[in-house]
Structure 1
Amino acid sequence: MFVSKWNSPRFCGACWAFSAVGAIEGARAIKTGNLTDLSMQQLLDCDDTDMGCGGGLMNWAFQYDEDSVGLCSLNDYPYAYHRHWFWGCSRYAPYCTPLPDTRVSKYVNITETEEDLKAAIAIQPVSVAVMADGVSWQFYRDGIYSSPCEDPKTINHGVLAVGYGSDENGDYWLVKNSWGGYWGQGGYIKLGRNVGSESVGGSSCILTLASRPILKDEE
């Protein structure tokens, strides 16, 4: 499970929910032309396979959504950290209405190559997992960050790969974090791409556990 104590000022390890919801939001926006913030708290409260603020996996979140009725908007089911610990789902979920085109039909695991991750990002935002330990990651501000994937067992943080590109410093993956706009480059980090680390999981292990949701067709 991905649990990052740095995930929020209130120490809720909800990175997995931010990543999964971001991927679903992106897929829905591409499909419908409507970008609406969806509820992370619904996953924290109602996804019994994951462990709320105690951590989780994006694929399990996609599976919850596939087996449920879809996601409510963030406005109708706002983020409350760990405050819904005991009665969250039964108390709050009945009072929001899941939005159309928010239910996952299935999810696809991305092969661990840079070309396949590029191809997936060209379709939609992709949930990825990274190794976010160390002062250099916590206090990242700008530039391209390249760190080897020394051990996949150290992967501890779910984020969202939203693009890729190149600048004067080299090639990069553009990744959205869940730590707010004051972190990194307005909430984003550029991870090194084409830096010779593909065979060992990519920069910060970004290639190892990438996946994307495919939404259910609705009439």
Structure 2
Amino acid sequence: MVLNFHSRLVVLAALFLLGAWESLSTARTLEETSLFLSHKRWMSRHGRSYKNESERSKRFTIFKENVKFIEKFNKVRGGSYKLGTNKFTDLTKEEFRATLLNEEKSTPYPKTSKPTSFVNESLAEVPESLDWRDQGAVTNIRDQGKCGAWAFAVVAAVEGITKIKTGQLISLSEQQLLDCDFNNGGCGDGNTTEAFQFIKDIGGIMAESDYPYKGVEASCNTQTLSNPAATITGYQEVEPTESALLAAVTNQPVSVGIDLGEPGLFQYYAGGIFSGECGSGYRHDMTIIGYGRSDEYGMDYWLVKNSWGNSWGEGGYVKMARGINAQGVCNLNTRASYPTA
């Protein structure tokens, strides 16, 4: 059969479209295969397994979308920090919020005492940079799992002041706070100042070795409470200004709360100085253990200890922008307190 010129053009066009479709299909297949292998390696690295194929398929879809989000951010937006995969990459934003963050309460916790604000002799004496790890006042990064970050922020601050006052660095018990501090909400929610007051009222806090972390709420083991490893005399709240917070951190690690409504950026923080959008409606508690300045980015930062394990961020820590506005990034300047000893 002899094809006329028009028919030949139709055939050639059809062949071209078929080739283009096959090429696109191959590219998609290669991309999907690469993501599948990445997910498999990610599962191995983080010890993740799923109960059935349906759950694995669901988690792979979430993982795939989150990886695309991370790669797009690093390529298009970039800036002073980067994102990366971590153990949260197969969670949706809603699951992450429900598991790791505390929803803001419309009514604040009642105060059991009225602390005075921190007073420092002179901000002129503040060093250019500080890292309380260099003074041996910071224990290893913990992993809160699905439980309350407030307890970890409190314990890190008490560990710091205990080392500064006594010369001893002791890992203290978050589990005791979760089990025994009935003014707070255990794994669900908590208030750092209420927890400081609780430690003072019961005469101290146990060592981690005597009251180990379980990651779930349990009955208070009152038999272990007669031999505390550390004591405090109370707590103080920091004036909601950056200068007051800076003065406080020069003396000891300080517990802070940040606002997070859209956690995607913070959830996948992998390094640099975090200055991203935070949103509101949810809260997360951490501990400032120092500050400094990055010549690379030309920015001042807070050095903050988190409780999401050492595979998150920079070995479990995050540098958060300092000096960008009155409230601080994620309102960090507005909710700070520390124990007194």
2:210 to 58, 76, 81: 76
The match for 2:333 is 207
Find the residue that maps to 2:208 and give its secondary structure: coil
The match for 1:159 is 286
Q: Which structure 1 segments of 5+ residues have no match?
A: none
Bigger CA radius of gyration: 2
Cα 1:32–1:179 shift into 2, 3 Å: same
1:54, 1:105 → 2: CA distance? 27
Find the residue that maps to 1:42 and give its secondary structure: helix
2:178, 2:278 → 1: CA distance? 28
Matched, 1:31 2:158: no
Matched, 1:17 2:148: no
Letter aligned with residue 172 of structure 1: Y
- The percentage of counterpart residues that share the same residue type is 40
The 5-angstrom pairing of residues 30-179 of structure 1 reads: 30-82=164-216, 84=218, 88-89=219-220, 92-95=221-224, 97-100=226-229, 102-132=230-260, 133-147=262-276, 151=280, 154-167=281-294, 168-169=296-297, 170-179=299-308
1:60, 1:9 → 2: CA distance? 19
Find the residue that maps to 1:36 and give its secondary structure: coil
Please provide the CA RMSD for this pair: 1.9
**1:17-40 Cα deviation digits (max 9, x unpaired):** 000011000000000111110000
Find the residue that maps to 1:52 and give its secondary structure: coil
TM-superposed deviation, 1:10: 4.5
Find the residue that maps to 1:141 and give its secondary structure: strand
Contact 1:68–1:103, Cα closer than 8 Å, also in 2: no
1:159, 1:113 → 2: CA distance? 18
2:98, 2:166 → 1: CA distance? 32
Contact 1:41–1:80, Cα closer than 8 Å, also in 2: yes
- Which structure's residues are more often helix, by fraction? 2
Cα 1:210–1:155 shift into 2, 3 Å: farther
The match for 2:310 is 181
Find the residue that maps to 2:243 and give its secondary structure: helix
